[in-house]
């Protein structure tokens, strides 16, 4: 789970950051809750999950548009 969180966090930076970021964060939390031996990838996945959402927020507010729309 820790490695999956890290990979999703990395993929979430350039692609689908609003979707993959929260998944990476939740997987990292679950991995740390289960006391994984891979603490560093879990921590990195948690940080990257937060960064994904922050990148989305920065892009959405930079030009006052919504990056993803349902229309």
Query: Cβ-count burial of 38 within 10 angstroms (0-12 exposed, 13-18 middle, 19+ buried)?
Result: middle
- pLDDT score of 67 more than 60: no
Instruction: State the pLDDT at residue 51.
Output: 94
Tokens 């948690």 appear where?
Answer: 46
pTM equals 0.82
Q: Give 49 or 67, the one with higher predicted confidence.
A: 49
Average pLDDT, the chain: 87
């Amino acid at each position: 789970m820790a490695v999956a969180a890290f990979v999703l966090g990395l993929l979430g930076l350039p692609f689908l950051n609003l979707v993959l970021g929260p998944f990476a964060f939740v997987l990292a939390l679950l991995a740390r809750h289960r006391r994984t031996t891979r603490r560093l990838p879990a921590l990195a996945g948690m940080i990257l999950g937060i960064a994904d959402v922050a990148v989305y927020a920065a892009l959405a507010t930079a030009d006052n548009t919504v990056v993803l729309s349902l229309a």
